[in-house]
Amino acid sequence: EVKTYPAYLKGTWQESQSHETIAIQSPWKHDVIGNVQAVTQSEVDESIHAAKAAQKPWAKLSLGDRGQYLNRWADELEATKDEIATAVMNEVGKNFNDAENEVQRTIDLIRYTVQEALHMHGQSIRGDGFPGGSKEKLGIIERVPLGVVLAISPFNYPVNLAASKIAPALMAGNAVIFKPATQGSISGIKMIQALDRAGFPQGILSLVTGHGSVIGDYLTEHPDINMISFTGSTRTGKHLSQKSIMIPLVLELGGKDPAIVCDDADLDVTADNIIKGAYAYSGQRCTAVKRVLVDDKVADELVAKLKEKVENLSVGSPVNDSTIVPLIDNKAADFVQGLIDDALDKGATLVTGNQRDGNLLAPTLLDHVTQEMEIAWVEPFGPVLPIIRVHSLDEAIEIANKSKFGLQASVFTQDIDKAIQIAGAVEVGTVQVNGRPQRGPDNFPFLGVKASGMGTQGVHNSILSMSREKLTVINLK
């Protein structure tokens, strides 16, 4: 029997007054695995109202007390790790091992966030540092919460990318409205069931599921939302930044992360990292390697190594821990197939792949990709990797920077001076030297520039972005 999940509004599990639910289809079971509530605007309103009321007493609690709630949440997640990982696997098609790692990473992140918040502190400043200023002006700078934070998470990390917004928001003293991606809602609900069991004060967090067309803009434009943290597509991120009114935004959006491979690179290390970077979870990661810019002198050798590894990737069902799993839906598979077809039409070489069974695409490697092909610039979010051969470092940097995206870049070389030179020249949030792009470890800052985002995440920076400075000046006699 297919389960219908309630929404978590004002601290209670409820069916929506809309009497409408949304069916969640598994990307690999090809069956409806559950229904979630289509929450109404007035329910959103009431949830935000309750969050606003709950926030003040929550912020008054000591950091230690808030931390205890969050640690209890982490304990509850740990106790139901397998159940939540299974929900992630069924709902978004992530293999069980990766799904379990996602839940463990979340438990670690919550506990680390508690510790980080406990160890953050304010500053004081005297006025005499500025011409004409006086020592008798003593400024005390503290960090205070923003109010109600709207956390919007994507399908590909339905647990981790939700908790990495919710935990810092709560530790900073905010209330939270959590809107999961519809495909990902069941995983989000399971995670919030654990939060509910931890006994948080009523209303401090509400989980609203529903149609973006009904509640998306309503949430974004709501006058009692004080900050938005969003992970998802660049298109939606841009829309959000147009709709939101004078509130801070943190946006983590798409990417087209290049792996720049120099002629002196250790090609075994390089190939290993490129394969893991490009094909894990079928490439459905913002930080996936999405293009290789390789020096022509070593391109043949690199392509041969990549080919062998791609052909050894496991393809199939997430229950069998396959690396290559069915994409989130058929539309996504059509999109990736369109990019492959365009490249092949325009003369790219198919090294391996280009087979399809519904939304399961074989891992595909394309060589001799040129700048005229869409795959050179568009983010596929699927298991296809284009190789663009370059003839100089300058050319690699130029193509790297021509992208509208600027999330991360990898540089493979054994020459540290060259690595630093390239790192300085590429316009991205993070450069990985001899490693694949990735968000973690989660104590690192994580940010994208250009169309890849705005603001910085990572535990410390998320706490900062969900709080603000408050200055109290004591005018001493």
Q: 3-class SS at 432? A: strand
Binding characters for ligand G3H, 403-442, by CB under 6 A (x = yes): -----------------------------------xxx--
Binding characters for ligand G3H, 41-80, by CB under 6 A (x = yes): ----------------------------------------
Residues assigned a catalytic role: 252, 286
- Shortest Å distance, C-beta 457 to ligand G3H: 8
Among 16, 95, 156, 206, binds ligand G3H (CB under 6 A): 156
> Which residue intervals of 222-356 are DSSP H helices?
234-243, 267-279, 296-311, 330-345
d(CA 439, CA 442): 7
d(CA 463, CA 458): 9
285 touching ligand G3H, by CB under 6 A: yes
Minimum CB distance to ligand G3H smaller for 96 or for 157: 157
229 touching ligand G3H, by CB under 6 A: no
The answer to whether 208 and 44 are in contact (CB under 8 A) is: yes
322 touching ligand G3H, by CB under 6 A: no
CA dihedral sign, ordered 433, 438, 441, 443: positive
- Expressed in percent and rounded to 5, the helix, strand and coil fractions of the chain are 40, 25, 35
First to last CA, the chain: 74
- How many residues of this chain interact with ligand G3H, rule: CB under 6 A? 8
159 touching ligand G3H, by CB under 6 A: no
287 touching ligand G3H, by CB under 6 A: yes
Minimum CB distance to ligand G3H smaller for 181 or for 426: 181
For residue 328, the one-letter residue type is: I
- Shortest Å distance, C-beta 400 to ligand G3H: 19
Maximum alpha-carbon separation in the chain = 79
Q: Give the interface segment with ligand G3H, choosing from 19-27, 210-218, 284-292, 332-340 (CB under 6 A).
A: 284-292
Using left for φ > 0, alpha for ψ between -120 and 50, and beta otherwise, residue 215 falls in: alpha
Minimum CB distance to ligand G3H smaller for 90 or for 452: 452
Question: What residues contact 469, with CB distance under 8 A and at least 6 apart?
Answer: 141, 142, 143, 144
- Shortest Å distance, C-beta 222 to ligand G3H: 26
- Shortest Å distance, C-beta 22 to ligand G3H: 23
Minimum CB distance to ligand G3H smaller for 116 or for 252: 252
Residues 86-115 that bind ligand G3H (CB under 6 A): none
Q: Of how many residues is the chain composed? A: 477
286 touching ligand G3H, by CB under 6 A: yes
Q: What interhelical angle do 185-197 and 81-92 show, nearest 10?
A: 160
- Shortest Å distance, C-beta 156 to ligand G3H: 5
290 touching ligand G3H, by CB under 6 A: no
Structure tokens at 474: 């004591």
Interface residue list for ligand G3H (CB under 6 A): 156-157, 285-287, 438-440
